[in-house]
Structure 1
């Protein structure tokens, strides 16, 4: 997985499966563009990403999560559940505002 933290008035966290970076998915009127400049951060494993997500959730961060592994890590971190994710072309994603 890759994680990138954008500093703004709140931290904006982009977490995605590594193999999805640079790809674009469309379904009907919905579009998911996994751009390198937004999602292309440091490579992290599942355990590290779960711990980072838990810590960032305490800071009231905003989360953009794309891909099966990334969504699974977010569920393990307790910031989303199955009902809070969507899919575009079979790719799971979630947007979280805490």
Structure 2
């Protein structure tokens, strides 16, 4: 998995993706979803690092079955909120307040 963390005016933004989806595009109902290197490329990460990054996130974008499954397993995302986008999974996390 790959993790990219950055600070924004609204808080920490975390992007997580599976290694094999970086640079790929997925299409669903005429909408194209791109896993761009500009947004998602960061540092290789094991499960522990991904979980720690998601725990600090104010907003997170998560792509790929391994990454999304890990986010669900640790309670960051509910499975009912996971989207299937043209053969991969995507989820977002937003903490309000």
TM-score, length-scaled by structure 2: 0.88
8 A Cα contact 1:2 1:39, kept in partner = yes
8 A Cα contact 2:5 2:53, kept in partner = no
Looking at secondary structure, tell me which structure has more strand per residue. 2
Match of 1:7 in 2: 7
Task: Detail structure 1 runs of 4+ shifted over 2 Å in the superposition.
Answer: none
Summarize deviations over 1:9-39 as a string: whole Å, max 9, x none: 1211100001111111111133211000110
Structure 2 SS opposite 1:11: strand
Is 1:86 matched up with 2:83?
yes
Instruction: Please give the alpha-carbon distance, in whole angstroms, between the structure 2 residues aligned to 1:95 and 1:31.
Output: 17
Match of 1:75 in 2: 72
Instruction: Please give the alpha-carbon distance, in whole angstroms, between the structure 2 residues aligned to 1:11 and 1:52.
Output: 9
Flag structure 2 segments of 5+ consecutive residues without an equivalent.
none
Match of 1:18 in 2: 19
Is 1:64 matched up with 2:58?
no
8 A Cα contact 2:26 2:87, kept in partner = no
Instruction: Please give the alpha-carbon distance, in whole angstroms, between the structure 2 residues aligned to 1:64 and 1:80.
Output: 11
Count of paired positions: 94
Taking only aligned residues, the RMSD between alpha carbons, in angstroms, comes to: 1.3
